[in-house]
Amino acid sequence: MLEVVGQNPAKSEFIVVAGLGRSAHWYRNLEVREGIEVAIASERFTPIHRQLPIPEAEAVLAAYEMRNRWLTQLIQAMLSWLVGWHYDGTDAARRRLAGELPLIGLRPAQCEDRRPPPKRPG
């Protein structure tokens, strides 16, 4: 089970956080091959993935915190527990967090299949 911390509707992408960092089994498996299936509510799809660059990850985390501002203390406590240091929600702490807990974008592989095939020479 993963926490969806953001969405990118233009890419049909869900963004999740690797709460246990790079040692999480699901994250290590993605480094080797694409996922088999993602289930979010009633949606199921075969995913392709990307790791968000730190500036984009910071923005996604900031937006997540803003949307859930009534849970700020709980979110900060949970993130602090996950990384082993006090996460206070500042820009500097968010940058450090994004470097330690990768954010992964998952989108349906069939979105990629909709691109026209490359033109063949001749």
Per-residue pLDDT in tens (0 to 9) along the chain, 122 residues: 688 999 988 888 999 998 888 888 888 888 888 878 888 888 888 899 999 999 999 999 999 999 999 999 999 999 999 999 999 999 999 999 999 999 999 999 876 544 444 444 54
77/122 Cα distance (integer angstroms): 61
Q: What is the distance between the alpha carbons of residues 99 and 21, in angstroms, rounded to a whole number? A: 9
User: How many CA atoms lie within 13 Å of 102's alpha carbon, on the beta-carbon side?
Assistant: 17
Note the helical H segments in 8-104: 25-32, 54-67, 72-83, 91-100
The domains located in the chain, with CATH, are 4-110 (2.30.110)
pTM comes to 0.83
d(CA 117, CA 5): 33
